[in-house]
Amino acid sequence: MELAELIGLRPVPCGGLLVALTRRCPMSCAHCSTGSSMAAAEEPDAGHLLRFLGSFGTEDRPEVVMLTGGEPLLLPELAARLAGVARAAGSRVALLSGMFFAREGRVPDRIMRAVTALDHFSASMDVHHEREVPRAQVLRALRAVLDAGIPASVHLTGTGPDDPYLADAVADVRRAFAGRVPLLVNEVRPLGRAAGLVRETPAGPDGSRATPCTLAAWPVVAFDGTVAACCNQWTVDRRPVPPHLRLGHIAEDDWQAVRERSLGSPVLRMLRSVGPQRLHARHASAPAPAGYCRSCHALADRPEVLAGAARDAGGRVGELLDRLTTRQQLAAGPADLVRRMGCARYAHLVEAVPGREESGR
Ligand code: SF4
Ligand code: SF4
C-alpha cells in the first residue's frame, strides 16, 4: 500500500482506524503532542486490542489500520500480531515510527519481523528527531525496509513552507531514493500527529462557510482503550471525552458497534460535512467559542445545536450529505487533502515522483 492510497482514504468515514499502541517513547522531542516519554506508561490492554481488531468482518472492516504511539515499535510483537489479525479480515496495516531503533543505521531483527507484517511503513522525521537519530541512519534503515519489500514513506514536520529544514530534508530524501519514496509534509500544530495530517481544518470567520472536518472520519483507539471520533489530541486525551465524540471502548465494544455509532451520528455527519462552526451558526442561541476544535467540544454544552444536528442529519438526508462530502473529497485526491491540511508547498510529494526535481527549495 502506497502513501497516496492511505491518505486518499482519510476522508472516508470508518475507512481507517487509528490505534495508539502505547504512549511510551524513547525519544524526547520538544514539540511532542502526545506527551510521550518512557515514563508515560499508558497503553491499551493488548487482549482488548486483539479482540477488537478480531471483530472485523471481511465485509465490515476498515480498509486500513494505522498503528501509532508514542512509539508503536516498542511493542513489535504486539504490532505484528495485530497486523496479522487485521490482515486476516482484509484490512491493510500501516505503522508510523519515530525510528528510535535506527541509531546504528539498521533495523534490528525483532523490529524487522514487525515491519514485514505491515502493508506500509512510515518514518517520522523532524529537527528534534534528528538530534537523537541522525538523518543518514534513518534513511539507511528505510532502505532496509524497502529492500524487504515493504512500501515506505517519510512523514516530515517543519515550522512552515519556508522552513529551510524542510527544504533540506525533502531534497535529501528525494536524492536518497530517486524520488521513489513519497513524503507527507506537515507543519507543527498543537494537535496529535497520530493522524498523519495535523492541521485543523481552517474555519470560516463567522461560521457562514462550511468547513468540513476530515479528521472526524477515522475512529481512534486512545491510550486507555477509549474509542474517540477523531485524532485531535485534546479529544484523545480529555476525560470524559465529550459524548458526541466518544464512540465506545475496546473493552466492551466491537468494530461494528463503533462503526455504526460513527456513521449513524447526526452530529458527526454534520461535523464531517459542514464543520462545527457552521453547526453553531445554524442552530446556536449564542456565538460559538473561538477555535475550530474548541467550538466542536463546546457542542456538548449546546443541546439546541445537537438537537438541530439531529433534525438536519438524523435521517437519510444526513447519510446522503455524509456520502456526498466524502465523494467530493475523494474526487479531489490526496494531494488536495495535504494542500488543505498539511504543508501545501510539498503536497504533491504525497505521491512518489520518480526523478522529478524538488521545486520547493
Ligand atoms: S518520536 Fe514522536 S512520540 Fe516520540 S517523543 Fe518524538 S514526537 Fe513524541
Ligand atoms: S472539529 Fe471536532 S471532530 Fe473535528 S478534529 Fe476538531 S474536535 Fe475532532
The phi, psi pair for 132, rounded to 5°, reads: -100, -35
Average pLDDT over residues 265-280: 96
CA distances 308 to 210, 265, 289, 295, 299, Å, are 16, 13, 18, 15, 11
Is 328 or 30 the better-scoring residue by pLDDT? Answer: 328
Q: How close is the Cα of 103 to the center of ligand 1, in Å? A: 15
Instruction: Name the band, by pLDDT with cuts 50, 70 and 90, for residue 189.
Output: low
Residue 312 lies in a domain: no
In the DSSP assignment, the letter for residue 123 is: E
Instruction: Name the band, by pLDDT with cuts 50, 70 and 90, for residue 360.
Output: very low
Q: How far apart (Å, rounded) are the C-alpha atoms in residues 231 and 218?
A: 8
Q: How close is the Cα of 98 to the center of ligand 1, in Å? A: 6
Residue 299 lies in a domain: no
Whether 358 and 174 have beta carbons less than 8 Å apart is answered as: yes
Residue 198 has pLDDT above 60, yes or no: no
Q: Is 52 exposed, middle or buried (0-12, 13-18, 19+ CB in 10 A)?
A: buried
Average pLDDT over residues 173-197: 78
pLDDT at 207: 59
pLDDT at 41: 85
Ligand 1 contact via 36 beta carbon (within 6 Å)? yes
Report helix angle 334-341 to 316-332, nearest 10. Answer: 100
Q: Which three cell numbers stand for residue 172?
A: 535529501
Residue 240 lies in a domain: no
Instruction: Name the band, by pLDDT with cuts 50, 70 and 90, for residue 103.
Output: very high
Residue 87 lies in a domain: yes
Q: For the chain, what is the domain count?
A: 1
Residue 327 lies in a domain: no
Domain extent, residue 79, equals 3-208+332-350
Ligand 2 contact via 235 beta carbon (within 6 Å)? yes
Residue 7 lies in a domain: yes
Residue 301 lies in a domain: no
CA distances 207 to 130, 211, 261, 276, 277, Å, are 40, 8, 26, 8, 5
Residue 9 lies in a domain: yes
Q: How far apart (Å, rounded) are the C-alpha atoms in residues 176 and 180?
A: 9
**Whole-prediction pTM:** 0.94
CATH of the domain at 128: 3.20.20.70
